Structure 1
Amino acid sequence: MRHGAKYPKVAEYLTKYKVEMLIFYDFSAEHWTHIRTTNPIESMFVTVRLRMNKTKNCENRKTTQAIACKLMRIAEAN
């Protein structure tokens, strides 16, 4: 692994669980959207990612974090 010397624990984890992490790609591409959106954590981040991509006026880190936090709270409530 390329960064194994710098991040040995991460490299060990990725090596150990490689099959489980890549099983997603065993399904055909047409099913990926449905599989991905059934994960509640991923669904929340998709919501945040979509909104952040549309919002171009986030000029600093604090504003961006506040918006992302608010969006996650809304998504969590739903």
Structure 2
Amino acid sequence: MELLLKTRDRKTRRELRTLISQMHHGRIYLSACGIFKLDYTVIKSMVTGVITYIVILMQFMPLNDEKSTDDKDKG
């Protein structure tokens, strides 16, 4: 609002008023190229899916135990 008061250019002032009005009256939301809205539930599902896949992949990672390191030192 302070920027609106300091602006002298009429066109810029009109654009700022329009922006302020839209932000005040409309809900702001994110969308994925207009296909679907990205709200809290979608973002939560994506994060949950990523964490699940990370946990599954971690189960297939080899363990670095003493036996495998001893074998490497001998060879």
TM-score tier, shorter chain, comes to under 0.3
> Structure 2 length normalisation: TM-score?
0.27
The structure with the largest alpha-carbon Rg is 2
> Structure 1 length normalisation: TM-score?
0.26
Structure number with the higher helix fraction is 1
